[in-house]
Structure 1
């Protein structure tokens, strides 16, 4: 037994310093001596979960639960491993087992909410978050996640109120400021949305999604005398950040590109060029002489494909091709449009032929890019 205790001490120390491989090996030593040790199976499962070896983690949690079926910890953590495997219904069942044993677990109610959101059961997710917050109301992550679920349900004002609660608890959470900005934009409260995005960017200047959201809100706003941005140092060098409409939209994307570089933020860099192209295209649509704006849009779309490639981001690439085709037809450059049409059709065919892509995903792809069929 002293040998078992020694392996436990070593395994637990390895776990504490995040040597999870070593911890698994130590717990295995215990199980060679004492295969009916609940603690060794449970600790091994937790180390495997930390290593993202989720299948083996579930198997170890199952072994632990055979020995101690009333362990809410094991049921709850088993749910996390199952969720990470995409086995969402099984994860929810595991959380339900845990909650029968310990109905006052904020942790499990919250994790259950996340799994419910992932499988589209949004009303139930909100109820799960409400249960969690009734037990412990001071968790900003739960308020934020509740806001996401409410936003996806279209209950935007409630979502914003949930984000406000989260920000009272943790005002330096840039993701929550961003989420709040998105829902304010959906409500066409563009000036408030810009303020939210600016708060996110004060905390993380290279958060490219916020630059995209800010540009969209600035472009949609019709405010005559907008409040100056809180990004005062940036505005000194880029006065257009305080503008709205076409110029304001471009200013946000341009500023985003100063902080999100091609090498460090390939996806964001591509998106910012893509959205710059969209801004030129939309402004051209409203002009009596659109060609010069559409030519600028082409330059930006082509730039975007340097990082949003058909190999790394095939669906984005197809969307950009659609945008380019629309412009080339508008410019009466039919041959170029048809060439891109063939390229898009070939790529879509390859994606639909992928053996690991689900039938449902293939149906959605074919519907989304029906213009290439």
Structure 2
């Protein structure tokens, strides 16, 4: 049989990466399976977003948080499978068999589901010919806010992400217009008020009807807008168009036991756990945003706590005589050599 792992983590976002770190700390043989080509999860949606609410970490761009999480998650050299989509998880005797879309099979004693909200893909703009501008000035994510310096921007979307984009681009872009097909924006009131106080036009009941190309047919130069209430149209000149109409979420992998994600009002999909990550199936755990329990906290720090609880429970399940928790890092002999290297490097650089 192929290599057997103590833990296989499905998902390489914050909860999956911290699970891998803590599993290594507990001396468990670990594998991460990630659908995307990179680790880091949905933080990649807006890498310049500033994150404030991770304990001990002052305001930090998401990209830096991603880099830190990956470095930490790979501390104990887990096996990492990128570009790998899980289709089915089954249990045979005491092992889980994880089947992928390519027909590969992975074998594990325990499984940790850390898929967040699922495989997310931005909902594309349903306007004829829109796809050809994705390589130029039609955007579904922001990779660098400075690329919009002194530009005239049209932002389509009324949720928190779209309004956050507009807020963060004030003072960088030359002009920003926000449109939303609905009558009332769904973003936080304080964020909307901030846009209004800074003179950002917000056009509700408005959608993109068509895109007008420049002479070279390579970029959008104008956007035809339609008021869905009156059917009136107007034209706006743009340098770039940013679209955030939400995300399609793929939860397509299934289990041969009843732990499929269920619908919830606030978090669209979740798997109920016992507070220690354990689902209704012995050996399958869920952590991060996909997990729901009585004391759940939907923050990155909450995902870390989920990971710790799940890995400790797994360790005791595999080794009943093991310590209930990992020894703290300041007294953990596993870090002695690494600490010495860091201290010596610090002394050399002084």
TM-score in terms of structure 2 length: 0.25
Higher relative contact order (CA 8 A, sep 6+): 2
TM-score normalized by the length of structure 1: 0.24
**Which of structures 1 and 2 has the bigger CA Rg?**
1
